[in-house]
Structure 1
Amino acid sequence: MSAEPSSGVLPAQALRAMFESGAIAADLPLAAGQVQPASLDLRLGPKAWRIRASFLAGGVRTVAERLDEFAMHEIDLSGGAVLETGCVYLVPLQERLNLPAGVSAAANAKSSTGRLDLFTRLITDRGVEFDTVAAGYEGPLYAEISPRTFSVLVRPGARLNQIRFRRGVAALSDAALRSLHDAQRLVDVEAQIDGGLAFSVDLSPPADGIVGWRARRHAGLIDLDRIGHYDPEEFWTPVRPMRAGGVILDPGAFYILVSREAVHVPPDHAAEMTPYMAVAGEFRVHYAGFFDPGFGHGPAGGAGSRGVLEVRCHEAPFALEHGQVVGRLVYERMTERPDILYGAGVKSNYQGQGLKLAKQFR
């Protein structure tokens, strides 16, 4: 009798095999760099719809069946199209799934997407939750996109979100996480473990005094294909701490900050950033995020890598202090070690990072 498949997150080599078997299909061949160590970048298709409200398909209907209720007009993305702030769009993705019964998936915004305050979620047919794909799902994938701060120019093939596939239960218990930290040191400070590994905000000013960036409202258009192109101060205001320390977050404002901890994700594990509970204050880390195997891993060139935090304040101004806990890292086991690691063998924009804006900025 053959052994049961191991539970955990599927690595890069398994994702390529899923393409070969038809469990993942696409309109075009895989693009260079599309397969990451523990996730797959998803590509926008050639058209979009401006919709009047966000929606889910519900338990028995398809997205296409519900689209007539919400679509306002269709947009051709083939020559590039502007997605405007304050609007909601639905884009069919190039990838579709035919998952085995034991494999489920979850999606998240890519790092650069979150750092542009570009809200995006995955929707499936008969789906009752965003960013969640049920085990055995067969059907198309859609991205809901809503620019919050900056209008963006997009084209077919743009990769705004990513998907991670799991077999069974992958998350580590707190006891297993403590053992992993003792063996491989996941953060460079004392580990706080309770429902995941806590991380906090760094508001201790470096030599230039800048501890973060606050997005400017009514800034110019960002072409997502222009890498290292834009002057940060045309789109962002530097944030410096008050004389007494800390910063006061303004309601509705969007900030890029950085974790106090240097984070390490060992090669045989993956991690996911989850927002802190609302009881922490009138703010939240705005986007969750995937951390691939090898992030912050010394042999992969990542020693000292920090977690970048996308933070939005809500109803009341809030005084954020240095070292305040703002989120959790949930670690998951891989089914096997990926054949590529973040920062080693793939083009990783944020390996070894500190406070860093999206890759479109100089």
Structure 2
Amino acid sequence: MTGTGVLADNAIRELIATGAIAAEPAVDSAQIQPASLDLRLGTTAYRVRASFLAGKGRSVKERIDEFCMHSVDLSQGAVLEKGCVYLVPLVERLALPKGMSAVSNAKSSTGRLDLLTRAITDGGEEFDRIPDGYQGPLYAEICPRSFSVLVRPGMRLSQIRFRQGQSVLSDRDLAALHDRAPLVSGEPVISSGLGFSVDLRPAEGDLVGYRAKPHTGVIDLERIGYYDPADFWEEVRSKSARIILDPGAFYILVSREAVTIPPDYAAEMAPYLAMVGEFRVHYAGFFDPGFGWAEAGGAGSRGVLEVRCHEAPFVLEDGQVVGRLVYERMSERPARLYGAGIKSNYQGQGLKLSKHFRG
């Protein structure tokens, strides 16, 4: 196995070959990304009364038995309804070697649909964090927040990244990396990661984002480039370089900065911090090596922000720092980079809805 850092695609293939990652049906090569593995839904969803963690010494199956309201057969496709919580056993299971941990996250398209998706494990005391040496099944907690969705077995709503040792860059190392290979357009804001701000002053026109409509139809997750955005989203326009976020509403906005992830690094959008304001910037998706990298067709790609306002209306202004990217070292350079020879939906992106919508 390779050295310290986030495991790249070839190392993930080795984990599959040695049985550290097992699945039936077997893992498809299309699931393997430059620095992560897509996880597939199984054949059954359990509608549960509430979100939960298994807790130390307890299995997820025990908790499903405790909180399950009914089960849903996904084999012919089934609708997961807005506002409900579901647990879906995933196809993949793990037998991680000692010294290796993992972290899961929703895929970018999942986050852009406000489809809350988190991994839980037996004995787990945190969402999306798989402890060192974990052996056992994986489950996805799914809660559609804005739109009901039609899902089928094998769909890939989340992904998992594997780590050996300490991989996160210190602020000093991050600043040195930026000096060698600029990570962001403009002056970097470095504090426990690379800060990014919201763009509410577009170069052309006054379209600054989208807001999810409260009463819409179902989105079939297999349909790509199919839906009319106007059926699901309201355009958010501003001539004043500010907007007021409404409590409970979900927005798609875009960062002012163009971000670059060099080939030997990966990044993750850090969780919302309460002192930023009365909203949360969702942190769906990983940033793979090569995201925004010029040699992989990027030349800087802006980050799409999935924003939900909390208890009080909140004024969001152009250039306001709303989150940060945490950079990590790769254990080795991936065989393929994001956007280079693989289907990468969001390379070179600006303000962009999920791949399910036209335009």
Same fold (TM over 0.5): yes
Whole-Å separation in 2 of the counterparts to 1:136 and 1:316: 42
Query: How far off its partner does 1:290 sit?
Result: 0.9
Match of 2:237 among 237, 240, 248: 240
Query: How far off its partner does 1:207 sit?
Result: 2.7
CA offsets per residue over residues 194-218 of structure 1, 9 Å max, x none?
Answer: 1100000001134342110000011
Q: TM-score, normalised by structure 2?
A: 0.98
Query: 2:14 maps to what in 1?
Result: 17
Match of 1:126 among 123, 128, 132: 123
Whole-Å separation in 1 of the counterparts to 2:54 and 2:242: 43
Query: CA contact under 8 A between 1:274 and 1:289: conserved in structure 2?
Result: no
Query: 1:359 maps to what in 2?
Result: 355
Query: How far off its partner does 1:303 sit?
Result: 1.1
Query: 1:67 maps to what in 2?
Result: 64
Whole-Å separation in 2 of the counterparts to 1:196 and 1:288: 17
The one-letter amino acid of 1:291's match is F
The one-letter amino acid of 1:334's match is M
1:54 aligns with 2:51: yes
**Which one is further off, 65-74 or 143-152?**
65-74
Map of 1:230-309 to 2, 5 A cutoff? 230-241=227-238, 243-309=239-305
Whole-Å separation in 2 of the counterparts to 1:88 and 1:188: 39
Query: CA contact under 8 A between 1:33 and 1:347: conserved in structure 2?
Result: no
Whole-Å separation in 2 of the counterparts to 1:5 and 1:219: 48
User: What secondary structure does 1:343 align onto?
Assistant: coil
1:315 aligns with 2:311: yes
Match of 2:187 among 170, 182, 190: 190
Quick one: percent identity of the two aligned structures?
Answer: 68
Query: 1:169 maps to what in 2?
Result: 166
Matched length: 358
The one-letter amino acid of 1:257's match is L
Query: 2:329 maps to what in 1?
Result: 333
Query: 1:225 maps to what in 2?
Result: 222
What is the root-mean-square deviation of aligned Cα atoms in Å?
Answer: 1.1
Match of 2:153 among 143, 150, 156: 156
Whole-Å separation in 2 of the counterparts to 1:38 and 1:286: 20
Query: How far off its partner does 1:41 sit?
Result: 0.5
The one-letter amino acid of 1:64's match is K
Query: How far off its partner does 1:30 sit?
Result: 2.3
Structure 2: runs of 5 or more not aligned: none
Runs (4+) off by over 4 Å: none
Query: CA contact under 8 A between 1:152 and 1:224: conserved in structure 2?
Result: yes
Query: How far off its partner does 1:64 sit?
Result: 1.1
Query: How far off its partner does 1:87 sit?
Result: 0.5
Query: How far off its partner does 1:54 sit?
Result: 1.0
User: What secondary structure does 2:176 align onto?
Assistant: helix
Query: 1:7 maps to what in 2?
Result: 4
1:216 aligns with 2:213: yes
Query: 2:30 maps to what in 1?
Result: 33
Match of 2:178 among 181, 185, 200: 181
Q: TM-score, normalised by structure 1?
A: 0.97
Whole-Å separation in 2 of the counterparts to 1:166 and 1:275: 19
User: What secondary structure does 1:211 align onto?
Assistant: strand
The one-letter amino acid of 2:159's match is Q
